Amino acid sequence: MPENGTLEPPSSRFASEQNSLLDGSDSGRDRAPFRAGSGLAVTFSSLRHRNYRLYFFGQLISLMGTWMQSTAVSWLAFKLTGLSEWPALLVTASIVPTFFFGVWGGALADRLPKRTLIFWTQAAFLVLAIVLAGLAYSQEITPWQLLVISALGGLVQAVDLPARLAFVMDLAGREDLMNAVALNSLLFNVARALGPAVAGILLRFYEPWTCFLANGLSYLAVLWALALIDVSGSTRSNEKHSGISSLLHGFAYLANHRELMFLFLLATTTTLFGWPFVALLPALAHHQLHSQEQGYSLMLSATGIGALAAAVTLATIGSIERRATMIWLGVLLISSGLVVLSFAHLLPLAVAACGIIGFGLILFLATVQSVIQLGTSDHNRGRVMGIWAMALSGALPLGTWLAGRSADHWNESLVIRWLGCTCALSALLLLAIFRQTRPEYCQSSLPSPSRLGDDG
């Protein structure tokens, strides 16, 4: 407690240590806040908030349905066409709209009540799932209809994703934001593991339309949760910009805050070079490990298990005071894991490397997202999260495409090794550039949230 007897605002404590991200140090490591309880009480501490608890369990059911539908759509597309390019095309159609319209969706989240906006986007997902189930049930569905519905879902996602990311602060508060983001990652990876497994059972004994119907019904859980959430204490928007001006204001806000810009560029390059290895695992299993489907599935499972372990670790011991350690450790694990994977000729070593990479990816991305949200003003958080969604949704498919094309010309082990080295070098290069080109205003701490809200 300061000598004047007043509590220092959390935003000021965070702001006073921002430059340690660029220095690679943790200036607050000796005064990490004590969190009451231990074990599961700490890991799931954000569930003490009723609003986040409702949202958490609603999303758990809904995300499982989403993965069930995603699995069934890819299977149905391949079954209808016999071509592998169609499932890839559907995935692209669902991601690309976020790249083009994610910032606009974030601007909407800054102008409109987030709960209301999310309620209607989730309702739109429900309608699309029911339409898809009806078309599949009629057995008249075509690949082009799948493509149109996937693209429409992508447009809804461009609005829904930034709003949901920005909504976490309203649900869990500043103190438990990092824990809530970690639990969101845990949710995603649990749903990614269980959803396709349930879809596989339904596809074996029934038809794809049952997965689509189940997904539609799963949205009732999150709609019910949203209806019960009390947002009376949430920050009200005083947004003065609209249209193109609102979008440009979001980019200008980011450009004027050097620490945030550094984290955005670091996340973009790490996603660009760190994540595409997944697309090369089938070829690696076949050519280098000679383990075929078994090796591929084990490496993919290890990546998911590593991601789950990182989410639990971050939820248990993660704090804003340890942010630099978490971020740089994540980059180190991703880069070193990729290099080890590229040299692996034994399946156990490759599986271990994939687990390390999965751990590093979630440790890095969840921490960076938390730091960016905490360093952003309440009235700009939606747009900043829209830019976040846009950056990652652009970097991932671009990196995957480049890695795939490169592997076709050379070999997957060489490309994976190149990805690991480039991931580390790009992080070091960004660090060097930002430390050498430090504007004068960045030598002091970030302004308080009230000043941030008036920026631009």
Dihedral sign for Cα atoms in the order 135, 59, 372, 121: positive
Q: Tell which residue, 174, 117, 72, has the closest CA to residue 449.
A: 174
pLDDT at position 82 is 77
How many CB atoms are closer than 10 A to CB 51?
21
In whole angstroms, what is the distance from residue 449 CA to residue 379 CA? 9
Q: What is the SS3 assignment for 8?
A: coil
Q: Give the DSSP letter of residue 443.
A: G
CB 327 within 8 Å of CB 367:
yes
pLDDT at position 440 is 38
Select the CATH number that applies to the domain covering 43-229 from these four: 3.10.20.30, 1.20.1250.20, 3.40.47.10, 1.10.10.10: 1.20.1250.20
Cβ-Cβ contacts under 8 Å for 435 (sequence gap 6 or more): 22, 23
In whole angstroms, what is the distance from residue 324 CA to residue 311 CA? 17
Question: In the numeric block, which tokens belong to residue 386?
Answer: 């829209």
CA distances from 397 to 91, 116, 304 (A): 10, 31, 19
Q: Tell which residue, 173, 431, 433, has the closest CA to residue 320.
A: 173
Inter-helix orientation angle 412-436/277-287, to 10°: 150
CB 235 within 8 Å of CB 170:
yes
Q: Which helix or strand (DSSP H or E) is residue 323 part of?
A: helix 323-343
In whole angstroms, what is the distance from residue 415 CA to residue 421 CA? 10
pLDDT at position 233 is 57
How many CB atoms are closer than 10 A to CB 12?
16
CA distances from 2 to 7, 8, 29, 219 (A): 7, 7, 18, 48
Q: Tell which residue, 336, 331, 337, has the closest CA to residue 350.
A: 337
> DSSP 3-state helix, strand, coil percentages of the chain (rounded to 5)?
80, 0, 20
Q: How many CA atoms, within 13 angstroms, populate the side-chain half-sphere of residue 338?
A: 28
pLDDT at position 456 is 38
How many CB atoms are closer than 10 A to CB 424?
20
CB 156 within 8 Å of CB 128:
yes
pLDDT at position 210 is 92
pLDDT at position 428 is 93
CATH of domain 254-441: 1.20.1250.20
pLDDT tens digit at each of 456 positions of the chain: 334 433 333 333 344 444 455 544 444 433 334 344 555 667 788 888 899 999 999 999 999 999 889 888 888 888 888 776 677 788 778 888 888 888 888 888 888 889 999 999 999 999 999 999 999 998 888 999 999 999 999 999 999 998 998 888 888 888 888 888 888 888 888 887 788 778 888 888 888 899 999 999 999 999 999 999 987 755 555 555 545 666 677 778 877 888 888 999 999 999 999 988 887 887 788 778 887 667 777 887 788 889 889 988 888 887 777 888 899 999 999 999 999 999 988 889 999 999 999 999 999 998 998 888 888 877 778 888 888 888 888 888 888 888 888 877 888 889 899 999 999 999 999 988 888 765 433 333 333 333 333 343
* Same fold? 43-229, 254-441: yes
CA distances from 300 to 352, 359, 366 (A): 11, 13, 20
Q: Where are the domains of the chain?
A: 43-229, 254-441
Cβ-Cβ contacts under 8 Å for 58 (sequence gap 6 or more): 221, 222, 223, 224, 225, 226
Phi and psi for 125 in degrees, rounded to 5?
-60, -40
